[in-house]
């Protein structure tokens, strides 16, 4: 048989292939016709409305969630509001800086030691005093390193363990990093880290304590920051009357404070930003805080203010024209964040006057009156800031509630500090 004959397809197979093709094509066409009919019927006959049993009104399945009661219908959840006020949980210590009593005691010594400033005159305690329960200096703008001034109010140390970020603008992500800025900042401690280590190395007690806590042969600056941070995390509100009220003691706070609590969580809506156990949303808002009086007229304030504009990397135009602390904007460089500052926690607020990032308000009464007026004027002001129209009696109730958030004053005494003991140079020469 020739190759030509081998390559030919039998005529019966040709016929069968053509028939199969025609059948499949016809079936596909039929399916298209049926599908088109279904869609056309659905278009002409939308879901029938049903009449409710009592009111006679009509609803569609879409309006009732698409299912009858008992058919597995899921009710739509109510909008989630702010977290309720609560008792503070135990402090959580970072995995890379765990708690120990020896570390806390070392941190306490470092906190009070003025040798952790450039000229040996300032300590953490200078701006955050532990002797009066405030843990924040009482001047509106904190004083700075000799020959300079700061540009913001000194935040209290109380409950800093619970914040996710530190400073009024959230520029530091841990207490350790904030301490580094406080010790080394040119308008704060102005301390060189190498000088700090050399000073500690010349104090045998620090050498021994750092070896015990961290295993260091000689103290290091980074470990000093960690020790102070551990001490600061122990400064937590204690025996707060409102906490006792939350735990069931109806007599823990006054009737006036209870009325203030109702206003705080209701008509005044303070809870929108001041919520949770910290009584802060740990976020940032612009409430239109006015500039501190005289701030723009004080030469030292303006030197620091312009320096901070440069240090925080603003544009040349902002450097030349800025007249206000721009807050969170320095961190994000987002114009919508201009004038936003961290929501401070309200625990122990009665001890931490003055208030706001620039200390512009001296009393809780002034703060409540400011909020009652709807805050100040600013193009970025939070829309939550609206006039409250509270009576004088209601404002007094709010103040009474804020005072119920104040527990025992946290007082820590200054420890005895190590003394210098310069190296024996004869011994050193023989090493």
Nearest to 134 by CA among 373, 305, 294, 351: 351
Do residues 225 and 346 share a domain?
A: no
User: What is the pLDDT, as a whole number, of residue 77?
Assistant: 61
Strand ranges for 249-402 from DSSP E: 284-285, 341-342
Do residues 222 and 256 share a domain?
A: no
Do residues 205 and 249 share a domain?
A: no
Of all residues in the chain, the percent with pLDDT exceeding 70 is: 81
153 within some domain = yes
The yes-or-no verdict on residue 411 having pLDDT over 70 is yes
* Mean of pLDDT values over 267-285: 98
Task: State residue 281 phi and psi, 5-degree precision.
Answer: -80, 0
392 within some domain = yes
User: What is the pLDDT, as a whole number, of residue 250?
Assistant: 97
Strand ranges for 245-357 from DSSP E: 284-285, 341-342
85 within some domain = no
Residue 283 and residue 343 in contact, taking contact as beta carbons nearer than 8 Å: yes
The yes-or-no verdict on residue 249 having pLDDT over 60 is yes
Do residues 318 and 395 share a domain?
A: yes
Q: What is the CATH number of the domain that holds 289?
A: 1.10.760.10
Do residues 230 and 281 share a domain?
A: no
Provide the pLDDT confidence category of residue 76 given band limits of 50, 70 and 90: low
Do residues 209 and 174 share a domain?
A: yes
pLDDT digits (tens, 9 = 90+) for 6-31: 444 444 444 444 444 444 445 444 44
- Residue linked to tokens 């609803």: 59
User: What is the pLDDT, as a whole number, of residue 74?
Assistant: 46
Total domains in the chain come to: 2
Do residues 256 and 148 share a domain?
A: no
Give residues with Cβ within 8 angstroms of 227, minimum separation 6.
Answer: 103, 106, 107, 110, 213
Provide the pLDDT confidence category of residue 80 given band limits of 50, 70 and 90: confident
Do residues 126 and 156 share a domain?
A: yes
User: What is the pLDDT, as a whole number, of residue 281?
Assistant: 97
Do residues 221 and 288 share a domain?
A: no
pLDDT digits (tens, 9 = 90+) for 289-348: 999 988 888 899 999 999 999 999 999 999 999 999 999 999 999 999 999 999 999 999
42 within some domain = no
Nearest to 157 by CA among 412, 418, 422: 412
Mean pLDDT over each residue of the chain, to the nearest integer: 86
d(CA 283, CA 281): 5
d(CA 236, CA 171): 22
Task: State residue 88 phi and psi, 5-degree precision.
Answer: -65, 135
d(CA 396, CA 260): 8
Instruction: For residue 341, give the DSSP letter.
Output: E
User: What is the pLDDT, as a whole number, of residue 214?
Assistant: 98
Do residues 197 and 126 share a domain?
A: yes
Number of C-beta neighbours around residue 85 at 10 A? 21
User: What is the pLDDT, as a whole number, of residue 61?
Assistant: 31
d(CA 179, CA 189): 10
User: What is the pLDDT, as a whole number, of residue 164?
Assistant: 95
Residue 421 and residue 202 in contact, taking contact as beta carbons nearer than 8 Å: yes
Residue 338 and residue 380 in contact, taking contact as beta carbons nearer than 8 Å: yes
pLDDT digits (tens, 9 = 90+) for 202-235: 999 999 999 999 999 999 999 999 999 999 999 9
pLDDT digits (tens, 9 = 90+) for 252-261: 999 999 999 9
70 within some domain = no
Provide the pLDDT confidence category of residue 1 given band limits of 50, 70 and 90: very low
Number of C-beta neighbours around residue 396 at 10 A? 16
- The DSSP element (H or E) to which 263 belongs, if any, is helix 255-265
User: What is the pLDDT, as a whole number, of residue 59?
Assistant: 35
User: What is the pLDDT, as a whole number, of residue 424?
Assistant: 76
- Per the structure block, which two tokens stand in for 82? 């702010």
166 forms beta bridges with 172
Do residues 326 and 304 share a domain?
A: yes
141 within some domain = yes
**Structure-derived torsion over alpha carbons of residues 301, 302, 305, 307, reported in degrees to the nearest 10:** -110
Range of the domain at 220: 101-237+412-419
- Per the structure block, which two tokens stand in for 329? 């904007």
- The three-class DSSP label of residue 114 is coil
User: What is the pLDDT, as a whole number, of residue 78?
Assistant: 58
User: What is the pLDDT, as a whole number, of residue 47?
Assistant: 46
Nearest to 142 by CA among 132, 134, 151: 151
128 within some domain = yes
Higher-confidence residue of 117 and 63: namely 117
pLDDT digits (tens, 9 = 90+) for 337-362: 999 999 999 999 999 999 999 999 99
The yes-or-no verdict on residue 381 having pLDDT over 70 is yes
270 within some domain = yes
d(CA 237, CA 413): 17
Strands 284-285 and 341-342, how do they pair? antiparallel
pLDDT digits (tens, 9 = 90+) for 162-203: 999 999 999 999 999 999 999 999 999 999 999 999 999 999
Q: What is the crossing angle of helices 204-214 and 193-201, to 10°? A: 100
Give residues with Cβ within 8 angstroms of 324, minimum separation 6.
Answer: 291, 339
Number of C-beta neighbours around residue 290 at 10 A? 15
d(CA 343, CA 274): 7
pTM, 2 dp: 0.81
- Per the structure block, which two tokens stand in for 143? 């004083």
User: What is the pLDDT, as a whole number, of residue 425?
Assistant: 73
Do residues 294 and 213 share a domain?
A: no
User: What is the pLDDT, as a whole number, of residue 53?
Assistant: 35
């Amino acid at each position: 048989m020739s190759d030509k004959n081998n390559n030919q397809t039998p005529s019966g197979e040709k016929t069968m292939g053509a028939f199969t093709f025609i059948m499949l094509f016809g079936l596909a066409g039929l399916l298209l016709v049926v599908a088109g009919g279904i869609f056309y019927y659905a278009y002409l006959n939308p879901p029938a409305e049903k009449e409710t049993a009592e009111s006679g009104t009509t609803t569609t399945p879409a309006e009732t969630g698409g299912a009858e009661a008992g058919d597995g219908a899921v009710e739509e959840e109510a909008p989630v509001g702010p977290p309720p006020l609560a008792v503070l949980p135990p402090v959580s210590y970072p995995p890379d800086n765990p708690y120990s009593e020896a570390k806390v005691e070392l941190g306490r010594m470092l906190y009070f030691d003025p040798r952790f400033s450039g000229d040996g005159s300032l300590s953490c305690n200078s701006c955050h005093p532990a002797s009066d329960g405030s843990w924040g200096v009482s001047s509106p703008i904190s004083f700075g390193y000799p020959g300079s001034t700061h540009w913001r109010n000194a935040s209290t140390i109380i409950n800093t363990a619970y914040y996710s970020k530190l400073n009024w603008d959230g520029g530091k992500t841990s207490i350790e990093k904030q301490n580094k800025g406080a010790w080394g900042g040119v308008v704060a401690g102005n301390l060189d880290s190498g000088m700090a280590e050399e000073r500690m190395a010349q104090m045998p007690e620090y050498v021994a304590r750092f070896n015990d806590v961290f295993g260091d042969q000689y103290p290091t600056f980074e470990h000093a920051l960690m020790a102070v941070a551990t001490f600061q995390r122990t400064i937590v509100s204690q025996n707060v009357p409102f906490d006792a009220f939350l735990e069931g003691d109806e007599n823990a706070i006054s009737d006036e404070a209870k009325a203030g609590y109702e206003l705080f969580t209701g008509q005044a809506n303070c809870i929108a930003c001041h919520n949770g156990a910290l009584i802060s949303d740990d976020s940032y808002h612009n409430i239109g805080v006015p500039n501190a009086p005289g701030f723009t007229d004080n030469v030292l304030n303006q030197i620091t203010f312009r320096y901070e504009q440069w240090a925080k990397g603003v544009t040349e135009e902002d450097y030349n024209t800025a007249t206000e602390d721009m807050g969170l904007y320095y961190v994000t460089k987002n114009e919508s964040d201009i004038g936003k500052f961290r929501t401070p926690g309200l625990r122990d607020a009665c001890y931490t006057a003055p208030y706001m990032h620039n200390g512009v308000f001296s009393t809780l009464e002034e703060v409540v009156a400011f909020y009652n007026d709807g805050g100040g004027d600013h193009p970025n002001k939070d829309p939550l800031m609206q006039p409250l129209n509270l009576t004088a009696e209601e404002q007094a109730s709010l103040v009474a509630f804020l005072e119920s958030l104040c527990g025992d004053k946290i007082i820590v005494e200054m420890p005895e500090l190590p003394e210098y003991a310069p190296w024996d140079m004869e011994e050193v020469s023989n090493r």
